[in-house]
Structure 1
Amino acid sequence: MKLLRSERFPAILLLASAALGLLVANLPFGGAVIEFSHAHLPIPGTPIDLSLAHWVSDGLLAIFFFGVAVELQYELTTGELSSVRRALQPAIAAAGGVLVPILIYLAVAGADPATRDGWPIPTATDIAFALGVLAVFGRGLPSPVRVFLLALAIIDDIVGIVFIALLFAHDIQLGMLAVGALLVVVFAILSRIDPDGRGPRIAVVALLTGTAVLAWAFVLLSGVHATIAGVLLGLAMQQSPAMRARHVLEPWINGAILPLFAFAAALVVIPQVSPRELSPALWAILVALPVGKIIGISLFGWLAMRMRPRGTAPAVAFPDLIAAGTLGGIGFTVSLLLANLAFADDAAIRDQAILGVLGGSTIALVLCAVLVSLRARHHRRPASS
């Protein structure tokens, strides 16, 4: 369990799972595995009927987003984003890390109506990978740089959540959504009845779990993407039990949910065509993730440092901002989900967009490993001399 709570191993496991999914899809039996992932598993007596792949992306991934939302709640109330002054610099840099990749994507693929809707895909940063890269390669980075990098990744998570909520809802059933929202309120109240966990814990956990599952079901049936239920529940839960719940769920999220999602999302057959025949979406994501993030984060981050008022955190050096940009280009989890949502109706483009996410994230990961290592060595040098 300790290994699954670490920052390094989950990132390695996530990368290995994505690589395994891509490998399996391109082996002779890959077609059978892909077909199996599309097999439906309905809940008898309910309207819920999801494929195995969607049970992972709409069901299990809601638990991941619950954990993300708990962390966001902590950072927004008592952590690194708890005041405008502390959040301003990474927020400006994150804005650049969203806008520039969008512009690059639209410049490459925006002229084609079939691929235009993929512009949100290169805006996400995978916080699990961000933590993993910092743990492996960032030893010696000063506290302001680490805080900036982590705040940047957290803000990118917020942006990804907003895109999922606003852009990919369809045929919204307001009645179902209202019931889901009411159940989130009930969940919030229940979490505050015994926040210290001194009462009958099994009964409280059973009530909270049942209410959370019902809220997820009604949000799913409302037409809003079901992962938003996880976000709402994580933000609504009282902080003390929420942190305990996240601690309990963390090994399952890192050791099972995220690897399963990465494997399922990467079940993509590599097209046997010439580069000219590949979708513009692939090339747009392949460039926008590493290049767009580096340009956007470093440029906007530099402007934020120049404009910072007195009393704010120390300035982050421009080379550190470039390293932060490479970190932001590691999309993986949320970018894979966005690719599945943006091209849900076109399997061929969706698969190529996923290949773009995997390729662009891998390029960013390699660049990030090199630059973060160099910056960490630079910052350790004065301390050792």
Structure 2
Amino acid sequence: MAGDESAKGTHPVVLQRSSYPEYLRITEILRKETVGGILLLIASAIAIIWANSPFADSYFAVRDVEFGYEPWHLHLSVGTWASDGLLAVFFFLTGLELKREFVAGDLRRISRAIVPVAAAFGGVVVPALIYAAVNASSPDTLRGWAIPTATDIAFALAVLAVISSHLPGALRIFLLTLAVVDDLIAIAIIAFFYSQDVRPAFLLAMLLPLGLFALLAQRRPKFFGTTVHGPWLILLPLGIATWALMHASGVHATVAGVLLGFCVPVLRKSDGKPAMPRPGKPGLAEVLEHRFRPLSTGFAVPVFAFFSAGVAIGGPEGFASALTDPVLIGIVLGLVLGKPLGILATTFLVTKTTRAHLDPGLSWWDLLGVGILAGVGFTVSLLVNDLSFGTGTEHDDHAKVAILTASLTAALLSSVVLRLRNRRYRRIEEEEKIDADADGIPDVFEDHGN
């Protein structure tokens, strides 16, 4: 990473190998997210087929059924419950993961964090600028500038699973961190640019359950002892209250998920002092991550995709009409070209300004493949699309076609690049396993002082 010294010189190394515990943790996360990505693809395919079948009316009827409690502004359609409610679980995990990376992961060192964080910003800014340039003459469509800014980590990892990629751990961590950071940027964009009719009274009231959640989560040992089941009785209702008040305030409710994730402590308490989590003695963030990840990847995100991906294309004529919409052009160019361009250009600038160089085991072709794969935008792109144009509008439908088209294009292009690298890394991985000592840790990690 930028800031770490190479074994062969004094210049910093970008994307250096991670520590072995971090490698194992990230591998486990990626395995779970890959399963979620496959479920996401299945749910989306069913939605698209149903929405374009003779039974399409029943799909939209189910999506638009409303229920809930009106005085709390919670009388919502099924589709809105999925985007505002279920996605809050996804963003709660995003907050947990990002905080854990910067508090206890390899990214707690600025030298390791600067590259993926900078690349994430580049991967957000360049697609947004491309979309804005294409739609500069159309104020109505310019509102969708944030649609091509996010990466769907579950979808991207499902693509990796299909091509059986043996990418180095450093690249996988880079992709995961980049996706988490740009999801966080996207939720900040939603909070500041897509919130409507903000009600300060509800926003201030939301701070009370959020503050209590943070206080009780931080002081968990004193309040709940050593059991991991006790916090549910108090923390879960406080989390739901925070979400409900955030929704009522006019700020998108998924923002509450990120804030709650940031409130959860990563470090565990040892003799009354903060200590790093370790096997058998996890912090509360790790406990909640294990509990909520199956709910997010196995239910929340696939259900959201099911109710958001369904778009009536309208046959060849409808697809031809979508192709002339600047919304589709801006999204496709932003995701397919803007994402890899922003990520590669930013990483290149970091290496030049810090006089750093890539780890000798990696190539710029690897970063190109990952950059193209980051153009697989889906979950957050669909969410921003609905906020930009409104569910069921013409631009909304065209944008969904664009998101699907761009994601599939990025998946195919990245598969070509990464398959060319796959054989080489499979051979290296097999050699590392052979070189493992009796302690079970591959020598290559020990050689790097990790």
| 372-381 vs 257-266, which moves further | 372-381
State whether structure 2 residue 338 is matched by structure 1 residue 292.
Answer: yes
Please list the CA deviations of residues 3-52 of structure 1 after superposition, one character each: whole Å capped at 9, or x if unmatched.
Answer: 99634322111011111111111111112221221121022654321111
Aligned to 1:25: 51
| 2:67 counterpart SS class | strand
Instruction: Give structure 1 stretches of 5+ with no counterpart.
Output: none
Structure with larger Rg? 2
Distance in structure 2 (CA, Å) of the matches to 1:21 and 1:154: 26
| 2:386 counterpart SS class | helix
Distance in structure 1 (CA, Å) of the matches to 2:301 and 2:202: 28
State whether structure 2 residue 99 is matched by structure 1 residue 73.
Answer: yes
Distance in structure 2 (CA, Å) of the matches to 1:331 and 1:383: 29
User: Is residue 11–residue 129 contact of structure 1 (8 Å, CA) maintained in 2?
Assistant: yes
Structure 1: which amino acid aligns with 2:343? I
Instruction: Give structure 2 stretches of 5+ with no counterpart.
Output: 1-27, 267-282, 432-450
TM-score under structure 1 normalisation? 0.91
Aligned to 1:236: 263
Aligned to 1:219: 246
| 320-329 vs 147-156, which moves further | 147-156
* Aligned match for 1:302, one of 326, 331, 348: 348
Aligned to 2:363: 317
Distance in structure 2 (CA, Å) of the matches to 1:198 and 1:13: 37
Shift, 1:95, TM fit: 2.6
Structure 2: which amino acid aligns with 1:184? L
Distance in structure 2 (CA, Å) of the matches to 1:384 and 1:66: 36
Aligned to 1:338: 384
* Aligned match for 1:169, one of 160, 177, 195: 195
* CA RMSD after TM alignment: 2.6
State whether structure 2 residue 147 is matched by structure 1 residue 121.
Answer: yes
Distance 1:374 1:333, change over 3 A: same
Aligned to 2:276: none
Structure 2: which amino acid aligns with 1:327? L
State whether structure 2 residue 187 is matched by structure 1 residue 143.
Answer: no
Shift, 1:149, TM fit: 2.4
Aligned to 2:314: 271
Distance in structure 2 (CA, Å) of the matches to 1:275 and 1:6: 35
Shift, 1:130, TM fit: 3.4
TM-score under structure 2 normalisation? 0.79
Distance 1:71 1:169, change over 3 A: same
Distance 1:244 1:25, change over 3 A: same
Shift, 1:203, TM fit: 4.6
User: Is residue 33–residue 297 contact of structure 2 (8 Å, CA) maintained in 1?
Assistant: no
Aligned to 2:156: 130
Aligned to 1:206: 233
* Aligned match for 2:414, one of 368, 375, 381: 368
Identity over aligned residues, as a percent? 38
Distance 1:80 1:309, change over 3 A: farther
Distance in structure 1 (CA, Å) of the matches to 2:218 and 2:352: 43
Structure 1: which amino acid aligns with 2:386? N
Please list the CA deviations of residues 201-246 of structure 1 after superposition, one character each: whole Å capped at 9, or x if unmatched.
Answer: 5553111111111110100000000000111001111222222112
State whether structure 2 residue 288 is matched by structure 1 residue 245.
Answer: yes
Distance in structure 1 (CA, Å) of the matches to 2:119 and 2:54: 45
